[in-house]
Homo-oligomer: A and B are copies of this chain.
Amino acid sequence: YLKAKNGKAWLVPKFLNALFRGIGQATFANNPFSGILIFTGIVWHSLMLGWIQLLAGTTAIITALLINVNPALITSGSISFNSILLATVTTSICDSNPLFGVPVGSKFLMFIIVGSSLSVFITDALSNISNSFKPSIPILSIPFHILAVIIMTGLRITVSEITEEENSDSRHALVAATNQLDGSVFNETTSLPKTEDWITEYIDLNPSFYSYETLQNSLMAVILSGGQVFGINDLFSSLLVYAGLMMYSPILTFMCLLGATTATLFGLFISPFPNVTVFDGIWGFNGLLSCGAIGLFYVFRFQSVIHGIASVCFTAFLQLSLSNSFQQTKVPVLAFPFLISTIIFVCGLTYGQKLVRVPKITFPE
């Protein structure tokens, strides 16, 4: 609709459109109004996060205009969404978690700005590479993940003031980094117990597996998964994320909820870590994204629901395995399980007999 207008007066709405679509894209909701709702949720949680998001999004759009990226990519928010995710997640991890050791300062901002700018180049480059595959591979948030790992490692090295003793605390630090913002909801157990304790705790928790409390916590986890996409652990923000998603497409919302629920249950069952990471929605949000992606790329049928659940299953296994490997790098797992799982499932299953890939991706309805 906005495409038709070309006057100067439309520059600002066009810009805002690109910006908020970028925010919405993080949960597949390519719609400026969904973006505004989600943005409200984030500002509600932390005003600073909102400012940094705007800064990153603006940097990305300006860079994109400078290097003449395909305008359709800018308008749809595909360009800005990676830099917005980068800024939000990096900030919320560094900000909330003093043990990660990176203060939010001027050097931090410089990293974010350079990173946002680079994400445009990388998104542009990857979207061209993906076209040489038939069927084309979705880029999803690959640029975000590449840059997030590089920038967070870089920040740790350059900015942090870690002493040698703190290095031995790395295990402790990681757990805190994984359970990013869990202070608000679950403030009883932040420290990862030793292995022997795990077993005990695992046994302790198991009896209550079917208890009312577990059910309540799991429900909470499913809802919190919405916010965790942006690295935010906040009930109200998560509800607004779901509201934004609902406005875009109810079917997508159903798939996302299904994914979050399956992943949470899987997490409860196979995770040896204290269930606090599960109840925080860390497991749920990867499932949410995996299942949502299947819902987005395929026509909604019974067959696609089965594929969605299989994808979530694989995501959960990946998360179990990766969270172990990432302990060494001290960077959280982010949405890597979602990324790997979805690339395999979405690229591959297009020839399926009962699965039809959506030719042009709009909302499922």
Contacts and interface: CB of A to CB of B under 8 A. Distances in A.
Interface string A102-138: 0000000000001101100110111111011111010
Interface in A249-275: 270-272
A330 to B, nearest CB: 10
B118 A313 contact: yes
A344 interface: yes
Contact of A344 (B125, B158, B329): B125
A125 to B, nearest CB: 2
Contacts of A67: 303, 306-307, 352, 354
B352 A129 contact: no
Most chain B CB within a 10 A radius of its CB, from A121, A135, A303: A121
B163 A196 contact: yes
Contacts of A129: 133, 137, 344, 347-348
A68 B194 CA distance: 46
Given A67-B352, A310-B118, A352-B68, A164 B194 contact: yes
Interface stretch (A183-191, A207-215, A280-288, A317-325): A317-325
A199 interface: yes
Contacts of A154: 270, 317, 320-321
Contacts of A121: 307, 310-311, 314, 344-345, 349
Contacts of A162: 195
Interface stretch (A26-34, A145-153, A216-224): A145-153
Interface in A294-316: 303, 306-307, 310-311, 313-314
A1 interface: no
A151 B114 contact: no
Given A128-B351, A158-B320, A114 B313 contact: yes
Given A121-B314, A132-B135, A314-B118, A321 B153 contact: yes
21 contacts: A68-B353, A114-B317, A115-B317, A117-B310, A118-B310, A121-B344, A121-B345, A121-B349, A122-B348, A124-B348, A128-B351, A132-B135, A153-B320, A153-B321, A153-B324, A154-B317, A154-B321, A157-B272, A157-B320, A161-B199, A167-B195
Interface of A: 66-68, 70, 114-115, 117-118, 121-122, 124-129, 131-135, 137, 149-151, 153-154, 157-158, 161-164, 167, 194-196, 199, 270-272, 303, 306-307, 310-311, 313-314, 317-318, 320-321, 324-325, 329, 344-345, 347-354
